[in-house]
Amino acid sequence: MSGGARRLLAALLTAGLPVGVALADTPFGSYWHDGRAELDAYRYTVVRYGQLCRGQCIAVYVTEPFSRSKRVKVDDPSRNPRDVVDVLKLNLVRDFQTGIYDYNTMTSLFVTSDGLVPVKSSFLCTEWCGNVYEELHVDPGSVTQSLSSYFEDESRTESLRRPSGGILEEELFVRLRGLDGDYLNPGERRTVSFLPSAFRRRLTHRPLAWTLARIDRSPRAVTVAVPAGRFAASLYTVSIQDGPTGRFWIEGAHPHRIVRWEWSAPVGGDRWARDSNDSGELSGSERTQYWKLHAEGDESRLRKLGLRPVAP
């Protein structure tokens, strides 16, 4: 357990509050509260402007104390322990080239460590035309979007009802890993209310709106080969109503990393079903305190993950 997690645990006990399963002596707690982050790097492609673009992607998973009211990371959990919840944060960074200019995007998803319940998702997209930032606050019965865009008349704040059992597309990178138990049993399927991701909505210029998706898990394990090696994996298929289909290969062994994913459009699909469809193949993985690796020369660690440093 990391120092931050210990301080949070002490604050909760002092306040007489129940401690979530994520801070107890469980496989989740011993892995995710060891003071390190999980870095999963991917060989990456995405469809943009109807063409296949290449880039790189990294998923950064780490736990941290989080303010319920401010919806930001807490510096000192003991100051207001009743407002603090332990979260698992996913930072999903996608960088890719489109002709002369590049796209740099980052999604941050925050879910409670106990139950993996989403509380916030934010998204940033920067490219040569301008910047776009979106923040989505997730509550039990609603989602509230705050969008700032360089496009005229696109910036807005709006709320939508959150259907019971509805999930965000961003959640797939956490839910399907089964970090609090299998999302589906082998051979099982489920239809859910589904909110397409900010990344997908940005590249297709579609509004915030719920749809439906059917999620299937293959009845048997499959073998998948990626740059990081060969893995026995569970295959999940996510079929968005009138939209693309995604496939996620989840490592069978702990920690159940996403080994590969890919989205594809149905035959004859419109731009909504084509642009933003992406794929990633695991090229390297490491658990480390990456925030300490900021000295000249530390960029060499990126090559071990299969990523390229920005500077040559």
What percent of the chain is predicted at pLDDT more than 90?
A: 82
Least confidently predicted of 15-29, 110-124, 173-187, 220-234: 15-29
pLDDT of residue 270: 64
Domain-located, residue 310: no
Structure tokens at 155: 């910036």
15 has a pLDDT exceeding 50: no
pLDDT of residue 20: 42
Structure tokens at 269: 């699909």
CA–CA gap between residue 123 and residue 135 (Å, rounded): 6
Residue 255 corresponds to which amino acid?
P
Domain-located, residue 311: no
- Reported as a single tens digit per residue, the pLDDT across 26-70 is 667 788 999 999 999 999 999 999 899 999 999 999 999 999 999
274 has a pLDDT exceeding 90: no
14 has a pLDDT exceeding 50: no
CB under 8 Å to 252, separation ≥6 — which residues? 221, 231, 232, 233, 234
106 has a pLDDT exceeding 50: yes
Residue 120 structural domain = 3-305
Rounded-to-10 torsion of CA 14, 117, 60, 277: -170
Domain-located, residue 267: yes
Structure tokens at 122: 């934010």
218 — pLDDT class (breaks 50, 70, 90): very high
- Reported as a single tens digit per residue, the pLDDT across 130-180 is 999 999 999 999 999 999 999 999 999 999 999 999 999 999 999 999 998
Report the mean per-residue pLDDT for the chain: 90
Q: What is the mean pLDDT of residues 217-230?
A: 98
110 has a pLDDT exceeding 90: yes
Place of tokens 């419109």: 270
pLDDT of residue 3: 47
CA–CA gap between residue 9 and residue 12 (Å, rounded): 5
Q: How many CB atoms lie within 10 A of CB 220?
A: 8
CA–CA gap between residue 204 and residue 28 (Å, rounded): 36
Q: How many CB atoms lie within 10 A of CB 14?
A: 10
Q: What is the mean pLDDT of residues 105-131?
A: 96
Domain-located, residue 272: yes
Domain-located, residue 312: no
124 has a pLDDT exceeding 50: yes
Residue 21 corresponds to which amino acid?
V
Q: What is the 3-state secondary structure (H, E, C) of the chain?
A: CCHHHHHHHHHHHHCCCCCCHHHCCCHHHHHHCCCCEEEEEEEEEEEECCEEEEEEEEEEEEEEEEECCCCCECCCHHHCHHHEEEEEEEEEEEEEEECCEEEEEEEEEEEECCCCCEEEEEEEEEECCEEEEEEEEEECCEEEEEEEECCCCCCEEEEEECCCCCEEHHHHHHHCCCECECCCCCCCEEEEEEECCHHHHHHHCCCCCCEEEEEEECCCCEEEEECCEEEEEEEEEEEECCCCEEEEEEECCCCCCEEEEEEECCCCCCHHHHCCCEEEEEEEEEEECHHHCCCCCCCHHHHHHCCCCCCC
CA–CA gap between residue 143 and residue 157 (Å, rounded): 11
CB under 8 Å to 265, separation ≥6 — which residues? 47, 244, 273, 274, 277
Domain-located, residue 249: yes
What's the number of domains the chain is made of? Answer: 1
Domain-located, residue 165: yes
266 — pLDDT class (breaks 50, 70, 90): confident
- Measured between its terminal Cα atoms, the distance across the chain in Å is 37
pTM for the full predicted model: 0.90
109 has a pLDDT exceeding 50: yes
269 — pLDDT class (breaks 50, 70, 90): low
Domain-located, residue 164: yes
Q: What is the mean pLDDT of residues 226-233?
A: 98
pLDDT of residue 30: 81
